[in-house]
């Protein structure tokens, strides 16, 4: 009996040793991390590992507790880890997915589950709706984030334009709600750029930003460098249109075309007068919306509106988009130059100011004095400044134009004059400006202190 019991014990002990040895030869599998996070819409690699290289391929089934999805991680023979890519969808609020591995004959499990947190996409906002840049300089475009905690460390962000060009790229490694893109401004990106922030294939900026990039080596036009005997007569149209019926016949009599720089107010208030000028073959230029001193306009959106609203008015009411711009009082700075060119226009100043507005100097009541002023010196490429409702303007034009023609000069529009000097206008990109417009419907009232022109 004792021998039988002893034999049984020896058999059981041997079996235990065999089982233990078998268990020791099975690799122990664990998740590379206990948990992870990803923004919805992006894939996530779930990884499992073993301490020593697997002697054969290990296939570990996973099941998502919340959705029932089935995945399989394969650790190849001779390797210590393997992964499976889990695709996620965008979410409005954070959700969790728990993945439970199944037991298998060829391995043992050290971890019972892996938790993946799926985060909403962050929302980017432009700190300034309008941004400026100059060729040869680095432009900083600041972005704020509505929910920076939703970022996963190491996320790549891109600043793109309307043509999907990547202007700047940076990896997110900060918990801050502010981010600065650095844009190297080159000649290839000058003009209007509608800016947006991207995260992979997802646009995460709630609205576009406006980028105005220019080359400051290109100066505002005061005189066109041409050898041809061509000049341009320009008339600024600010608040009043009563002299248009008198001036148009004078221009027609001498068969000349000029450029009328019109405010948005003028186009809206004196639409028929503007149409008459256009019908006679004259050029329509932009003279801001409400005739302010532009360099004193600190609000960037207001500045953009001063340029974009008249262009919109001209397109809707006259069927043309101005390509030349004159700032009231000749007042401008580099930001205005960038905005003007982004809106497809060049800044036009003047070679000689007629002073037809000047009451203190006596010009406003003396056509002879104005004529002497504008004819004191004349050169090819000259640009004359008059005002539509300058009191001496009709009489001066009726005398100046034949005088110029007698001297062999041809009076042309500003755009024609620029072309004669080989000067190109900025490219026109009409799309995208409307979303920045804030025109008020009740603004068309002539200010008490409005000056003629």
Neighbours of 166 (CB within 10 A): 10
C-alpha to C-alpha distance for 199 and 263, rounded to whole angstroms? 41
The dihedral formed by the CA atoms of 89, 91, 94 and 98, expressed in degrees to the nearest 10: -30
Give the pLDDT confidence of 46-71 residue by residue, as tens digits.
999 998 887 889 999 999 999 999 99
Supply the pLDDT for residue 149. 78
Would you state the pLDDT for residue 8? 44
pLDDT of residue 105: 83
pLDDT at 140: 95
pLDDT tens-place string over residues 326-352 = 999 999 999 999 999 999 999 999 999
Q: In the chain, which residues have pLDDT < 70?
A: 1-24, 174-175, 439-453
Sketch the domain layout of the chain as residue ranges: 29-119, 124-214, 230-436
Cβ pair 314, 284 in contact under 8 A = yes
User: What angle (nearest 5°) sits at the alpha carbon of residue 25, between those of residues 22 and 26?
Assistant: 95
- At 341, give phi and psi (nearest 5°): -70, -30
> Given this chain, do its domains 29-119 and 230-436 carry the same CATH topology?
no
pLDDT attached to residue 359:
79
Q: Which CATH number fits domain 29-119: 3.40.190.10, 2.60.120.260, 3.40.50.10860, 2.60.40.2030?
A: 2.60.40.2030
Domain spanning 124-214: which superfamily? Answer: Macroglobulin (MG2) domain (2.60.40.1930)
Q: How far apart are CA 259 and CA 39, in angstroms?
A: 55
What top-level class would CATH report for the domain 230-436?
A: alpha beta
- Give the SS3 label for residue 352: strand
Of 127, 106, 117, 86, the residue nearest 28 (C-alpha): 106
Residue among 105, 81, 93, 87 nearest 33 (CA): 81
Per the DSSP assignment, residues forming a β-bridge with 30 are 49
Alpha-carbon dihedral angle through residues 73, 77, 81, 84, given to the nearest 10 degrees:
-20
The pLDDT assigned to 177 comes to 76
Distance separating the N- and C-terminal Cα atoms of the chain:
128
What is the structure's pLDDT at 447? Answer: 57
Q: What is the DSSP letter of 221?
A: B
Q: What's the rounded Cα separation, in Å, for the pair 256 and 410?
A: 8
Cα dihedral sign, 310-315-317-319? positive
């Amino acid at each position: 009996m004792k021998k039988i019991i002893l034999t049984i014990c020896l058999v059981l002990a041997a079996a235990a040793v065999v089982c233990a040895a078998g268990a020791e030869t099975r690799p122990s599998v664990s998740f590379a991390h206990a948990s992870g996070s990803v923004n919805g819409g992006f894939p996530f690699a779930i990884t499992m590992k073993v301490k020593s290289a697997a002697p054969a391929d290990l296939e570990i089934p996973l099941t998502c507790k919340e959705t029932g999805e089935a995945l399989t991680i394969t650790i190849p023979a001779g390797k210590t880890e393997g992964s499976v890519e889990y695709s996620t969808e965008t979410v409005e609020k954070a959700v969790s997915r728990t993945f439970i591995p199944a037991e298998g004959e060829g391995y043992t499990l050290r971890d019972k589950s892996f938790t993946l947190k799926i985060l909403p996409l962050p929302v980017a906002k432009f700190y300034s709706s309008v941004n400026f840049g100059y060729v040869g300089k680095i432009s900083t475009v600041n972005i704020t984030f509505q929910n920076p905690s939703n970022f996963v460390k190491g996320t790549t962000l891109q600043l793109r334009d309307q043509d999907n060009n990547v202007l700047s790229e940076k990896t997110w490694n900060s918990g801050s709600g502010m981010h600065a893109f650095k844009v190297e401004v080159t000649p290839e990106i000058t003009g209007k750029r509608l800016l947006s922030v991207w995260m992979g294939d997802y646009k995460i900026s709630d609205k576009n930003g406006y980028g105005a990039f220019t080359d400051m080596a290109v100066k505002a036009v005061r005189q066109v460098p041409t050898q041809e005997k061509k000049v341009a007569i320009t008339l600024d149209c600010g608040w009043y249109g009563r002299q248009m019926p008198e001036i148009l016949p004078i221009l027609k009599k001498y068969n000349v075309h000029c450029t009328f720089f019109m405010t948005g107010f003028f186009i809206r208030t004196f639409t028929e007068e503007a149409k008459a000028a256009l019908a006679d073959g004259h050029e329509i230029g932009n003279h801001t919306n409400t005739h302010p001193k532009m360099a004193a306009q600190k609000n960037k959106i207001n500045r953009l509106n001063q340029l974009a609203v008249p262009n919109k008015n001209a397109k809707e009411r006259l069927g043309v988009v101005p390509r030349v711009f004159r700032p009231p009082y000749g007042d401008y700075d580099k930001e205005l130059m960038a905005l003007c060119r982004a809106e497809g226009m060049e800044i036009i100043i003047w070679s000689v100011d007629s002073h037809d507005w000047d009451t203190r100097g006596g010009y406003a009541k003396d056509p002879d004095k104005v004529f002497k002023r504008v004819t004191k010196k004349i050169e090819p490429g000259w640009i004359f400044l008059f005002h539509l409702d300058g009191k001496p303007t009709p009489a001066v034009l009726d005398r100046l134009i034949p005088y110029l023609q007698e001297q062999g000069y041809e009076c042309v529009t500003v755009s024609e004059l620029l072309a004669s000097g080989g000067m190109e206008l900025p490219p026109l990109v009409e799309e995208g400006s409307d979303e920045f417009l804030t025109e008020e419907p009740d603004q068309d009232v002539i200010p008490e202190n409005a000056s003629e022109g």
